[in-house]
Structure formats: structure tokens, C-alpha cells
Amino acid sequence: MGGKSIFISGGGSGIGRAIARLFADRGWFVGIGDINEAGIEETGALLPADRWFGCRLDVTDRDNWDTALESFSSAAGGRIDTVANNAGIAFGGPLIQNSRREIDALIDVNIRGVIYGAQAAFGHLRKTAPGSCLLNTASAAGIYGTANMSVYSATKFAVRGLTEALDVEWAGQGIKVHSLMPSFIDTPLLAKQANARSSGTMRDKVRATGLEFTPVEEVAQAAWEAVHGERLHTLVGKTARKLAFAARWTPGMLRNKMRGRKSRK
């Protein structure tokens, strides 16, 4: 199999599916890793039959990462140019309402899973360097701490920190390490209850705040640009850009706004 290849964790839905479609349309061979095997097949059905390979992946299982990437590398002709470290889950609500199970799951998938993915990807990306890329999916929630999504926000700050650390650590190997920081995306993640003690969904919570949803296709295009560019963090959507601007230039006003207070003169 000639040409470039990308492996996408969480490729069975949402952002991962959109990235798979865009990269396949542009001639890349696509690997779809997901714990949801039905989702893998659904994504694969949207791609050219000879442009994809799917495998079940539990990102919290370090050995499973090695098996998945080795299998994909073989299917892709021995090369992996990009690993999209995209799989993630979301729970919301006040911290005191989050169960241990919810907290542990967020940490396991959103932090441990991303770290394992980076570690497993390194050897493959070193083979195709310079120019290979580890692309981590962070979030606008990793720009400024988000109330009622505190654990989720903390995990995305961790992804941001990992990206910045590996950007330095792997620079000498010729491997780019970048992140996507999208605003809220209307994916299946948001259709779930905010947490076990909540009657509303994550989608309801976002709508109640008046924040916009960023089209998933916009995130996929941003992924393409991140893989081919040099920007460390790629902001996607109005909310992400506004948060980043305010956090840098008017942090006091942003804090007061988040706390529901008017800034003092």
C-alpha cells in the first residue's frame, strides 16, 4: 500500500469519523480504532473499500495499543505517518455530583489512554519522520477551567500539557506533536446524561449556556491543517478562539465572567 496513512483512535464516531472521511477523500489510507466495533464498520462504510482498516481498540489497554498499531502498520505497507490520538469521553455536572466511576473513567480514557497512545505511536512515527505527526484531541475546556465540567476540563488540560511536553521531547526526532482544541461539537458524546445524577444531557447543558456547536467537518479540516502545519495548538470554533484571547489578554475579566460577576474598575 503506497501513500500516507493515519491511524485514528475513537474513529467510530464524531470527530474521529469526520477526520477519517476527510483524509480518505484526500488519498490517505485510514486506520479506525474504536472500542465500539459497530461504529468502526459504520465509519468504514463511508470510506472507499480499499482505503481503510479497522480494529477494536481499548485505549486504556497499553498492550492493545501495540497490537492495533502493528496491525495497521502491516495493512498500510509498513508505515504510519500520523496518529490521531482522538478517543475521549465526557461527563459533566458539579464535581460533588460526579461518581468515582465517572471520575475514574474520565482519567483512564482521556489521560491514560492518550499517554498510552503517544507512547505506542512513537516508534512508528519515528520511522516516517521527519514530518510525521502525533495529533492529540484536546478541547476548548483545556484553555480555561470550565465550571460543571471540572474533571473533563482537567483531563483536557493534561492533554494540552502532554502535547507541549512532547513537542519539545520529540523535536529532535523530527516528529511533530500538535493538538486540536475545538469548541463544543454535537457528537454522540453530548447525547449522554451529563452524569448519573443528572436528568439532562451534555447537549442540554451546552445549549443552556448559549454556546455554539462547531460543525464536525470544521474540526476535520483543522486536523488536516494541523498535520500539515507547524502550529502547536489549533483552535477550532468561536468559543475556543474567544476563550484563548480572553485568557491571554483579559484574564481577570474572563474569571469574573465565569464567576458571574462584573469586573471591578
Annotated active-site positions, please? 152
By the 8 A CB rule, do 214 and 236 touch? yes
Residue written as cell 480494529?
55
By the 8 A CB rule, do 55 and 12 touch? no
> How many other CB atoms are there within 10 angstroms of residue 238's CB atom?
13
CA distance 216 to 185: 6
Cis geometry, peptide bond prior to residue 182 (ω within 30 degrees of 0): no
In angstroms, how far is the first alpha carbon of the chain from the final one?
A: 63
* Alpha helices (H) along the chain: 14-25, 37-44, 62-75, 100-107, 113-128, 150-169, 202-209, 216-228, 238-249, 251-258
CA 8 to centroid of chain Cα atoms? 10
Q: Closest Cα to residue 105, out of 196, 9, 213, 12?
A: 196
Tell me the residue type at 30.
V
CA distance 65 to 118: 10
